[in-house]
Amino acid sequence: MKGRTGSSSKGRVSYDFPRLTLLPGLIDTHVHIDTHFGKSGKATREGETAQESMLYAAENAYAMLMNGFTTTQSIGSPLDRDLRDAIARGMLPGPRLLTSISPVRADTGTPDQIRQFVRQVVADGADVIKLFASKSIREGGDQTMTDAQIEAGCDEAKRRGKRSWVHAHADSAVKAAAVAGCWAVTHGSQVTDATLAVLAQRGTFFEPNVGLLLQNYIENKDRYFGIGNFDDAGFAFMEKGISVNLDMFRRALKVKGLKLLMGTDAGAGAHGQNAREIVYRVQQAGQPALDAIAGATSLAAGGLGLNDTIGSIAPGFEADLIAVDGDPIQDVTALQRVVFVMKGGKVYKNVAAGPQRARSF
């Protein structure tokens, strides 16, 4: 089959990469592909047409693909669906895209109304169901949805053959999601050791964001400040949040069997820098490089329910391959030096230093 590894030997092209390391294409399980700095330079769409918004999203898609991310999951916006389908047609360069389209919130309604909403989002083409079970970190992160609402959202997703992805900072919200059988929990900044153990026991994927999200907001403070909850109190929460998250992640590393996914929650300014999350996990939190890379490849593919098609280099899998300059096991920053990107057997980038021998045989 075209675009898959281990297929026909006729007309096969071989690429030799001395000093480089070949990896499966990287996967970011949590981005917001539509977010960008708009006309005013700020992180807002003010004064923008729908067409302009889509083009900004396409730019983010391109930036991520060029930096080695061949699959991303956007958590999520209605705009994502058309972008996902356009990329899938094969001409617009971008990562394979999955999306939650519209999220379930506390005010979506009763458990029955939430089930109805989930069925609608699935009918609209969602790949995954997002639940906002707690407030934003900029507002303290308290649980917002009741346990019954969380259970209804995740159960209905499962009944429709979809995964659920739960935004939760408060420990109680993380625990409720795990107990309800939700697929994955993101953020988890206030999670306790006891609840981390519950996540591991229940097999719930955990996708914390420690190395890029808050750092990017703070680095671009002037471009965010004044928008919604990006106020003085919000930035104070975020500045404290960096060390809180680092401590949380170090505790998570000690929990045996916890399925730690790589996700950045990338917003405006962060797309293309996604690998910073992996580098931070290794350099600052002490995660073994091989585990951190698995969190962005083979394990991440499992987190997306795609572990029989992507995330590994194996016969029959999609030919999503990247080459990086150096050995990321010895020096994880090699992941930020992506010199070759192939997605579905198509080469999108090949800037390896020195002469390349591409021969047919």
Reported in sequence order, the residue ranges of the chain that DSSP labels E, i.e. its strands, are 13-15, 20-24, 26-31, 69-74, 96-99, 128-132, 163-168, 184-187, 205-207, 321-325, 338-343, 346-350, 358-360
Give 127 or 265: the residue with its C-beta nearer to Zn ion: 265
CB of 32 to Zn ion, least distance (A): 6
Give 126 or 324: the residue with its C-beta nearer to Zn ion: 126
Q: What residues are paired with 23 via a beta bridge? A: 322
- What amino acid is encoded at 157 in this protein? A
CB of 241 to Zn ion, least distance (A): 14
CB of 91 to Zn ion, least distance (A): 28
Residues 6+ apart with CB under 8 A from 356: 15, 16, 17, 350
> Do 66 and 348 touch, CB atoms closer than 8 A?
yes
127 binds Zn ion per the rule CB under 5 A:
no
Give 101 or 341: the residue with its C-beta nearer to Zn ion: 101
CB of 110 to Zn ion, least distance (A): 25
Using CA atoms of 274, 174, 102, 74 in order, give the dihedral in degrees to the nearest 10.
10
Give 75 or 170: the residue with its C-beta nearer to Zn ion: 75
Cα separation, 321 vs 67, in Å, equals 12
Per-residue contact track with Zn ion, 42 to 81, x per CB under 5 A?
Answer: ---------------------------------x------
Give 32 or 42: the residue with its C-beta nearer to Zn ion: 32
Q: Which of 228, 215, 329, 309 is CA-nearest to residue 265?
A: 215
CA 48 from centroid of its chain's CA atoms: 26
CB of 184 to Zn ion, least distance (A): 12
- Which residues within the stretch 177-216 sit at the binding site for Zn ion (CB under 5 A)? none
Selected range binding Zn ion among 8-16, 150-158, 259-267, 350-358, rule: CB under 5 A: 259-267
CB of 107 to Zn ion, least distance (A): 18
Residue with tokens 């999609």: 318
Chain residue whose CB lies nearest Zn ion: 265
Residue 13, Cβ neighbours under 10 Å: how many? 10
Give 75 or 334: the residue with its C-beta nearer to Zn ion: 75
Selected range binding Zn ion among 11-19, 145-153, 195-203, 260-268, rule: CB under 5 A: 260-268
Packed helices 79-88 and 50-66: angle between N→C axes, nearest 10 degrees: 50
Give 5 or 190: the residue with its C-beta nearer to Zn ion: 190
CB of 216 to Zn ion, least distance (A): 12
- What amino acid is encoded at 357 in this protein? R
28 binds Zn ion per the rule CB under 5 A:
no
Give 28 or 265: the residue with its C-beta nearer to Zn ion: 265
Q: Where are the alpha helices (DSSP H) in the chain?
A: 50-66, 79-88, 111-123, 147-159, 171-179, 193-202, 213-219, 221-224, 232-253, 276-283, 289-294, 298-303
Per-residue contact track with Zn ion, 86 to 125, x per CB under 5 A?
Answer: ----------------------------------------
265 binds Zn ion per the rule CB under 5 A:
yes
- List contacts with Zn ion (CB under 5 A): 75, 265
